[in-house]
Amino acid sequence: MLAELKGMNEECGIFGIWGHADAAQITYYGLHSLQHRGQEGTGIAVSDGKSVKLVKGEGLVTEIYTADAMKELQGGKAAIGHVRYATAGGSGYENVQPLVFHFQTGSLALAHNGNLVNAEQLKGQLEGQGSIFQTSSDTEVLAHLIRRGGTALYKERVKNALSMIKGAFAFLIMTETEMLVALDPNGMRPLSLAKLGDAYVVASETCAFDVVGAEFIRDILPGELLIIDDNGFRSEMYAQSSHQAMCMMEYVYFSRPDSNINGINVHSARKRLGKKLAEEAKIEADVVTGVPDSSISAAIGYAEAAGIPYELGLIKNRYVGRTFIQPSQSLREQGVKMKLSPVRGVVEGKRVIMVDDSIVRGTTSRRIVNMLRDAGATEVHVVISSPPIKNPCFYGIDTSTREELIASDKSIEDIRQIIGADTLTFLSAKGMVEAIGREDGSETGGHCLACFTGKYPTEIYPKQHKEEHEESDALTAKN
Amino acid sequence: MLAELKGMNEECGIFGIWGHADAAQITYYGLHSLQHRGQEGTGIAVSDGKSVKLVKGEGLVTEIYTADAMKELQGGKAAIGHVRYATAGGSGYENVQPLVFHFQTGSLALAHNGNLVNAEQLKGQLEGQGSIFQTSSDTEVLAHLIRRGGTALYKERVKNALSMIKGAFAFLIMTETEMLVALDPNGMRPLSLAKLGDAYVVASETCAFDVVGAEFIRDILPGELLIIDDNGFRSEMYAQSSHQAMCMMEYVYFSRPDSNINGINVHSARKRLGKKLAEEAKIEADVVTGVPDSSISAAIGYAEAAGIPYELGLIKNRYVGRTFIQPSQSLREQGVKMKLSPVRGVVEGKRVIMVDDSIVRGTTSRRIVNMLRDAGATEVHVVISSPPIKNPCFYGIDTSTREELIASDKSIEDIRQIIGADTLTFLSAKGMVEAIGREDGSETGGHCLACFTGKYPTEIYPKQHKEEHEESDALTAKN
Amino acid sequence: MLAELKGMNEECGIFGIWGHADAAQITYYGLHSLQHRGQEGTGIAVSDGKSVKLVKGEGLVTEIYTADAMKELQGGKAAIGHVRYATAGGSGYENVQPLVFHFQTGSLALAHNGNLVNAEQLKGQLEGQGSIFQTSSDTEVLAHLIRRGGTALYKERVKNALSMIKGAFAFLIMTETEMLVALDPNGMRPLSLAKLGDAYVVASETCAFDVVGAEFIRDILPGELLIIDDNGFRSEMYAQSSHQAMCMMEYVYFSRPDSNINGINVHSARKRLGKKLAEEAKIEADVVTGVPDSSISAAIGYAEAAGIPYELGLIKNRYVGRTFIQPSQSLREQGVKMKLSPVRGVVEGKRVIMVDDSIVRGTTSRRIVNMLRDAGATEVHVVISSPPIKNPCFYGIDTSTREELIASDKSIEDIRQIIGADTLTFLSAKGMVEAIGREDGSETGGHCLACFTGKYPTEIYPKQHKEEHEESDALTAKN
Amino acid sequence: MLAELKGMNEECGIFGIWGHADAAQITYYGLHSLQHRGQEGTGIAVSDGKSVKLVKGEGLVTEIYTADAMKELQGGKAAIGHVRYATAGGSGYENVQPLVFHFQTGSLALAHNGNLVNAEQLKGQLEGQGSIFQTSSDTEVLAHLIRRGGTALYKERVKNALSMIKGAFAFLIMTETEMLVALDPNGMRPLSLAKLGDAYVVASETCAFDVVGAEFIRDILPGELLIIDDNGFRSEMYAQSSHQAMCMMEYVYFSRPDSNINGINVHSARKRLGKKLAEEAKIEADVVTGVPDSSISAAIGYAEAAGIPYELGLIKNRYVGRTFIQPSQSLREQGVKMKLSPVRGVVEGKRVIMVDDSIVRGTTSRRIVNMLRDAGATEVHVVISSPPIKNPCFYGIDTSTREELIASDKSIEDIRQIIGADTLTFLSAKGMVEAIGREDGSETGGHCLACFTGKYPTEIYPKQHKEEHEESDALTAKN
């Protein structure tokens, strides 16, 4: 079932700036700081007020934007950029964003983070009316809806189009004369506004503001349409804001530790997740170690709360890239390691608590547990700073590379045996919400917990078959 | 003066294996784990007992060894490999190692980590006798010395040649029939031996053994020549071992935290350096943070000893590579950051202790201190887990990119003012030796501290002008 | 005025095959033989009956179709391919053909040779109705017209669309189930049909049939729509055929000498142009030489008719490609030559007749005349195997690189002085038509002579400003 | 036997210039005009009087010398360059010339056209004395011989070294202060001197002089050593000149038609070979055609002498390069052609005389004969403008790609049957020498005819096993 979604899921990063003489350069550094949100492809579209130019390609920010490429983008005063997540299937140059459309009357550039749940339905209707799509990206649907809007004013056509699409989305829409910024009615993806001199900057994460030296103003609101032009910015609501449902995974593993989401620092949130986990788990051990990079903060928090020394028990090789040659099965069996190495000098003869952010298929966890034991750990206790993932995500977290969710049909004790840990503990959903520390009276604290609970904040369309799972209460399994 | 040495300094990593059906593949993974020791170039030479094949190039391990390249290396049973440090000047394809020489009677492959201090003298003599050099690398001198050895037995010619070269060196020498392993008489560079099934493995750092699944046997001894062939290995001493002088910088910042050098784990050694520093510094503050990556361990140790929370106050962007476009001066002044970002959510309103491994020119330190203040730190205390570097290195640590040693002619108080810290504290040389924890009765504990103390363990040749510096006692400066 | 047309002119080559197990490979060799018709870019789209795959890129056939690329195209039974002419302006990956459009109900691939004269008008109307164009190529207009055809049958929609476009065009349209082949009502571009075993092949020139071993059946008719599918082919006329107007430049310089156009071999036609020219010119000289490559046949014909020896008086360097570094002005003045060299041993002390196919700006002719004089020619007589070009082409011959037509406002005597020839003779339009030897009672013999005469065979639209030029009668100028 | 020679044979092109501000650029254009002499690799070494810089690589002139590469070479006043022939085996970056050697006292750059017959013997001796070779090229032997020359003056050491090497050679030797030019005692390779303003130019063929605008002075003499420096040039003889033995293949197919060798224009020489062949062959036919490119001149001469029309019966595709994908056996059998196509419109129903320069293995000839018959030729008469090749070349003509000389053990009638011609006629050796038209009283006219006659002008060394062949008198076979 998850395979059906391949190539449609797009957890990405977007960045935009209006009114700066170095618009393309600033966007380059902004995208660079968002590179962790997508490594498949990237693009920058710039506008000089008269026309829109585009450079894009499949690869990293540092690969696509050569000195020559940057020269092509010079002279713009506004820009939007995009980094795209590597999905197994739906890749291809034409799907790299921003998408730019040229008309006899002007241009339209779009950058999108999120996933529409009714894209296929809308696309079918549009093709029936003679529209030709250039990409397999759901982003393009919005462009056709806007252009099909007939004789209405441009802004009204955009608002109508936004009200027709469903799902999780953060959009940047640039023409020669203005930049529109839109967030879905549930506010499922992070998107914030800042000021850089006289220019306005929008980005998926606030870390991009720090990197380019911009000053944070506020987060974009659910259902909001922001219009930025040479006169400044003004806000309109194109939809009634529903209750917010910010993706919890942004805190758990996706965002950068130096970003603030809804005003909460990600590193600190993760540290609190680790502390809460220590309170729930209560395990005796000699050292605490985290799986780099996303679990380091939680491990530090765990160690601090549990009073156990935090150590570098696992080292990540920084030089593993696209062109790394994976060891053959035979070499793996002989003990050749890839990305992670255990630090024998640290774990030998020790009872080790290994902190990770989540378990998807269990394969990686099993490999790390084995690795630690081979390096001499006498006990390996796995603690996870989020609840078991039992349900697919339809809003852009790439569950297509997170196939075969081990927790969807296995008990925690089963999983513990599969990964070979002495004990296995997941953080409770309640503990997670408390640790994030954003009180809004609701059970979710204003977050989307669908992958843990199966409660989706939006309607789900036919192709997205929904399975219900019973929640079990126990979060710990012991050997 | 340092500029004279450009291109001769070669801190690198070497890896060799004898007697394994996947010799080239194992070497690939071994070199990959040593990539931090050199990113300029890399090569692998393999022998199938009849001939020696070579693949090398300028770039990273993952860039040079394509699937096609690996196919060329298939079928060998022995291999030596090399990763080369990026020096400003003396680059070039021909200098990438291993160097391989083909004769009508067989081949000779060499890989070298270290730096010879009398290379120019020997090269001049050899050219006077009609020798033609192919490279500007000092490694080639050894090949000519061996070939000029006349009618003596091969092994004797190698021993004679080794006794003629001076400086820091770890050599791998491979022919169709055997592999020779040699370490300089002071043992200034790390080099260890392990077993992988029936095969023998040699590497600059033990982390390479863990990555390929090999079992550590022992370190190579100063002045030792190891001969490995199909009958196993045997050891001979080609020189009287002097007192050992292992480069202290290997512990402080160069080696990987999961390696053991002379039996001491690098992460743990760094943590002890941090603890010792906390004892010496005694600073009041709210958070401790380390400059990634090399100072993380010291910062954890400092925090633990001082009882102050350890936080991620600085984030390193993982995607900065060769092709990253540096921001212009104007963009830097507007606040665009490059590799490091401060974590505002962590440092704002806090008194911050910033741990770093060393200060060379001071420029980087000043930038980081500013960055932390801009992000809201109320105080910034810089603590350094090694003494001030006052003297150049002639043994391979690339002081050519470490020009203008700020501590060579400035007091600690001067440096503090330049970098703008509230206080600046260096670890004492005595504290450093104690923290490493290798007792041999000597003042240096068997290490080379020349860059701190100016006391060089070997003779220094004319071109290597030696300046004496007065040591000052005070290691701390306060605002 | 010509600059306005930049990027719209597309003299290209197309090739299609239906019903062959090696469809992509055959298309590769077919396109390779048509490479002279376009070097800017190339693409192949293949259909396996279920889906359409595309490989395309900017560059030569041998550059774009790597072994890996060909693997992607394997398994198809039908294919269409395209080579694109290098125009100064309107380049870009997205404009490389075939254009392939994917719908929820199937795919559509288009390859086009020619130029539409009402593309801008149609595009404006379609955008007004909400269509989004992906390219700046006029080829895409046809796709939108077909898709906008509402509920009519596919074939009828194609016929309607074809009747709406005006100009010169040869189209290949491939879906999963059939291949459509269409030629404009004046038959201005060459397009022929052949058989290869059980498969049908269509190509711009018959040389492609010889290269792939296919057997010529017949030429496609003006106004014809051919439908090829697994049942064979059938023909329909979508338009009343007007009098034919095959582009005369196809004979004069564009097509390959081994192709037959309308049953006439191009080499033989050129030889007859040369003979007719010799009859008209009657010049005394010692040697005849042709400007390689396109004027070799005419030169041989001239020599044969005039009884003067044919010699290689000019040599073309075969290795000049895109990456050749043009000599600076200063080096040119010192005598550095680029593509052509004179053969001193042949022309020294001789009266030389230099045969060329046309004069556009005169710059090249002047350079060659100078070159021959510098190499010792005592007289240089320039003879041109076509009349003076006085008018722009709107049908695809790239007059945008043929700017500043020297003959549009200069007399032949003026041109002679500018190029520095002893005499200059153009072939008469009447002689040209007679030499081609295709009698149809008309003045043009069924050809388009618009660039010589200003009489355009189709309506011309507003942007294509038409200038009338007086024809002068004299075709020869003497010093 | 020929396989033993693989990689040692080097028919190449060399170019040098002394005293010109654009030395590298001039060399670029010179090498470009010599590209036909070698497509495997190319290099340029420049000297600015203080140091020697080198750019080289595997590929064409237009591939290796990018704008960036040319920038590196700027500022020199002297340069030598090389284009290298593609041999099957002995390729590799390190073998690309010029070879440049750097010493503490200066540099030495070498470029070589030809082949030494005693290279292996000399190399063995030098390695025994401790020399290390960098390449498998025989060119390097000369460098070692010069450097081993002890305390003698540089010029004397060069002359001694030249007298030790045997075979065919043309050498350019550049240091910071002078350029030496040397030709073997038999003058087997072409090498000429010219003047360009105040600068001196040396090149393998005179076509290079025409391309760069230089004025021919004279040919280099057999056994001559020319010394060029800032004071002009002076000549010395390092060896007694034997009778000259210029390689006949330079005229027959290797050199460019616009070059003069020993004062004779190559195109004109080939035309005379064709005329002489027409006199000897006396065949009735309708058309004469040549195999492009090397046989075009001979075909024109044949047609003129025989009074039969010369036609383009065969077309060569200009776009076949290294990356062209050869058709599979199956596709070839279906009729897919590669480099050559027949011109059906020219040969259909005609008796065709096909002129070629030589037959090596017969495979190509058979393919072309078949091609012409398939295109409708009623008779195909093959005439060859040189005698049968019966013996290997040890002087640099790449017989390693000319393996299995069909004429070494087959009669002309056998060959005729194998290639399927109606008649097959070779030019007689006597006719060939007469046609070249250089009278020196000798039987060979001062040429090397060893491949035809087996009479080698120099001593041949052990590895170069020499087979004697009986000459048959008959040169024609008829069906």
Give the integer Cα–Cα distance in Å for B177 and B157. 16
Strand A246-247 relative to strand A447-448, pairing:
parallel
pLDDT at position C380 is 98
Q: Chain B contact for D130, CB < 8 A?
A: yes
- Average pLDDT for D182-199: 96
Q: Select from D196, D260, D334 the Cβ nearest to the Cβ of C345.
A: D260
Query: Is the per-residue pLDDT at D180 higher than 50?
Result: yes
Counting one residue from chain A and one from chain C, the pairs whose CB atoms sit within 8 A come to 54
Interface test with A, best of C132, C138, C154 (most A CBs within 10 A): C132
Q: Catalytic site residue C12?
A: yes
Query: Is the per-residue pLDDT at C3 higher than 80?
Result: no
D126 and D469 Cβ atoms separated by less than 8 Å: no
pLDDT at position B463 is 55
pTM given for the model? 0.85
Cβ pair A103:C144 closer than 8 A: no
Continuous segment of H or E residues that includes residue B53:
strand B52-58
Q: Rg of the Cα trace of chain C?
A: 23
DSSP-derived secondary structure letter, A221 = P
Q: Which residues are CB-contacts of D410 (< 8 A; sequence separation ≥ 6)?
A: D418
User: Which residues of D belong to the active site?
Assistant: 12
Query: Is the per-residue pLDDT at A73 higher than 70?
Result: yes
Mean pLDDT for all residues in chain C: 89
Q: Chain A contact for B29, CB < 8 A?
A: yes
Mean pLDDT for all residues in chain A: 89
Query: Is the per-residue pLDDT at D53 higher than 80?
Result: yes
Length of chain C: 479
Query: Is the per-residue pLDDT at C400 higher than 70?
Result: no
Q: Residue B216 is encoded by which pair of tokens?
A: 């550590």
Q: Is the dihedral of CA A254, A256, A258, A259 positive or negative?
A: negative
A268 is in an annotated binding site: no
Amino acid letter for position A118 = N
DSSP for B336-382, written as a single string:
---SEEE-HHHHTT-EEEEEES--SSSHHHHHHHHHHHHTT-SEEEE
Q: Residue A215 is encoded by which pair of tokens?
A: 């000053």
- Average pLDDT for A60-74: 93
pLDDT at position D242 is 66
pLDDT tens, position by position, D208-219: 999 999 999 999
Query: Is the per-residue pLDDT at C349 higher than 60?
Result: yes
pLDDT at position D459 is 86
Query: Is the per-residue pLDDT at D5 higher than 60?
Result: no
C183 and C170 Cβ atoms separated by less than 8 Å: yes
Q: How far is CA D217 from CA B172, D18, D191, D194, D263, in A?
A: 55, 15, 11, 5, 11
Q: Which of D196 and D319 is assigned the larger pLDDT?
A: D196
Mean pLDDT for all residues in chain D: 89
Amino acid letter for position C286 = D
The CATH architecture to which A268-316+331-439+472-478 belongs is: 3-Layer(aba) Sandwich (3.40)
Cβ neighbours of D127 in B, within 8 Å: 103-105
Amino acid letter for position B15 = F
pLDDT at position A468 is 39
pLDDT tens, position by position, B394-409: 887 765 444 578 998 8
CB atoms within 10 A of CB D406: 19
**Nearest in space to C285 (alpha carbons), one of C382, C414, C418:** C382
Q: Select from B93, B134, B147 the Cβ nearest to the Cβ of D134.
A: B134
Q: Chain B contact for A59, CB < 8 A?
A: no
pLDDT at position C479 is 66
A207 is in an annotated binding site: no
Domain C268-317+333-439+471-478 classified CATH 3.40.50.2020? yes
A137 is in an annotated binding site: no
Cβ neighbours of A260 in B, within 8 Å: 344-345
pLDDT tens, position by position, D254-284: 999 999 999 999 999 999 999 999 999 999 9
Q: Residue A261 is encoded by which pair of tokens?
A: 């989401």
Query: Is the per-residue pLDDT at D395 higher than 90?
Result: no
User: C99: nearest CA in chain A?
Assistant: A134
Q: Residue A281 is encoded by which pair of tokens?
A: 């788990």
- Average pLDDT for D150-171: 92
Q: How far is CA A111 from CA A40, A280, A449, in A?
A: 15, 41, 26
pLDDT at position B329 is 87
Query: Is the per-residue pLDDT at A1 higher than 50?
Result: no
Amino acid letter for position A168 = A
Q: Chain B contact for A377, CB < 8 A?
A: no
Give the integer Cα–Cα distance in Å for B252 and C190. 75
Range ranked top by mean pLDDT from A134-148, C144-158, C167-181? C167-181
Confidence tier at B440 by pLDDT (50, 70, 90)? confident
Q: Do chains A and D touch (3 or more CB pairs under 8 A)?
A: no
Give the integer Cα–Cα distance in Å for A46 and A42. 14
Cβ pair C132:A144 closer than 8 A: yes
Q: Chain C contact for D75, CB < 8 A?
A: no
User: A39: nearest CA in chain B?
Assistant: B319
Q: Which residues are CB-contacts of B397 (< 8 A; sequence separation ≥ 6)?
A: B9, B11, B247, B249, B254, B451
C288 and C353 Cβ atoms separated by less than 8 Å: yes
Q: Chain C contact for A124, CB < 8 A?
A: yes
Query: Is the per-residue pLDDT at C241 higher than 70?
Result: no
- Residue of C12, C117, C227, C419 marked catalytic: C12
Q: Select from C70, C268, C328 the Cβ nearest to the Cβ of D345.
A: C268
**Nearest in space to C412 (alpha carbons), one of C470, C473, C346, C363:** C473
Q: Rg of the Cα trace of chain D?
A: 23
D355 burial via Cβ count (<10 Å: 0-12, 13-18, 19+): buried
B202 and B182 Cβ atoms separated by less than 8 Å: no
Binding region of C for Mg(2+): 294, 356-357
Query: Is the per-residue pLDDT at C88 higher than 90?
Result: no
Map out the domains of chain D as residue ranges.
2-242, 266-317+327-444+471-478
DSSP-derived secondary structure letter, C114 = E
pLDDT tens, position by position, A307-335: 999 999 999 887 777 778 888 888 888 88
Confidence tier at C330 by pLDDT (50, 70, 90)? confident
Cβ neighbours of B136 in D, within 8 Å: 102
Interface test with C, best of D196, D310, D336, D338 (most C CBs within 10 A): D336
Classified by CATH at the fold level, domain B2-242 comes out as Glutamine Phosphoribosylpyrophosphate, subunit 1, domain 1 (3.60.20)
pLDDT tens, position by position, A151-205: 788 999 999 999 999 999 999 999 999 999 999 999 999 999 999 999 999 999 9
User: D54: nearest CA in chain B?
Assistant: B92
pLDDT at position D88 is 36
Query: Is the per-residue pLDDT at C270 higher than 50?
Result: yes
Confidence tier at C90 by pLDDT (50, 70, 90)? low
Interface test with D, best of B53, B102, B108, B132 (most D CBs within 10 A): B132
- Average pLDDT for D165-179: 96
Among B301-310, B313-322, D73-82, the minimum mean pLDDT is found in: B313-322
Residue A101: alpha-carbon gap to chain centroid? 26
Q: Which of D407 and A478 is assigned the larger pLDDT?
A: D407
**Nearest in space to B15 (alpha carbons), one of B95, B84, B75, B65:** B84
Q: Chain A contact for B60, CB < 8 A?
A: yes
Amino acid letter for position C52 = V
B223 and B240 Cβ atoms separated by less than 8 Å: yes
C29 and D327 Cβ atoms separated by less than 8 Å: yes
Query: Is the per-residue pLDDT at B144 higher than 90?
Result: yes
Distance from CA of B61 to the nearest CA of A (A): 8
Q: Chain B contact for A331, CB < 8 A?
A: yes
Chains touching D (at least 3 CB pairs under 8 A) are B, C
Domain B264-317+326-478 classified CATH 3.60.10.10? no
- Average pLDDT for B311-335: 85
Cβ neighbours of C36 in D, within 8 Å: 318
Q: Chain D contact for B102, CB < 8 A?
A: yes
A262 and A219 Cβ atoms separated by less than 8 Å: yes
pLDDT at position D265 is 95
Q: Chain B contact for A35, CB < 8 A?
A: yes
Strand D447-448 relative to strand D246-247, pairing:
parallel
Query: Is the per-residue pLDDT at C466 higher than 70?
Result: no
pLDDT at position C55 is 96
Q: Chain A contact for C265, CB < 8 A?
A: no
**Nearest in space to A95 (alpha carbons), one of A29, A12, A154:** A12
Q: Which of C261 and C327 is assigned the larger pLDDT?
A: C261
A residues 335..354 contacting B (CB < 8 A): 335-337, 341-346
pLDDT tens, position by position, B23-48: 999 999 999 999 999 988 999 999 99
Query: Is the per-residue pLDDT at A396 higher than 80?
Result: no
Give the integer Cα–Cα distance in Å for B248 and B253. 9
Query: Is the per-residue pLDDT at B313 higher than 80?
Result: yes
Cβ neighbours of D310 in C, within 8 Å: 300, 304, 310
Classified by CATH at the fold level, domain D266-317+327-444+471-478 comes out as Rossmann fold (3.40.50)
Among B240-249, B346-355, B357-366, C390-399, the minimum mean pLDDT is found in: C390-399
Distance from CA of C237 to the nearest CA of D (A): 30
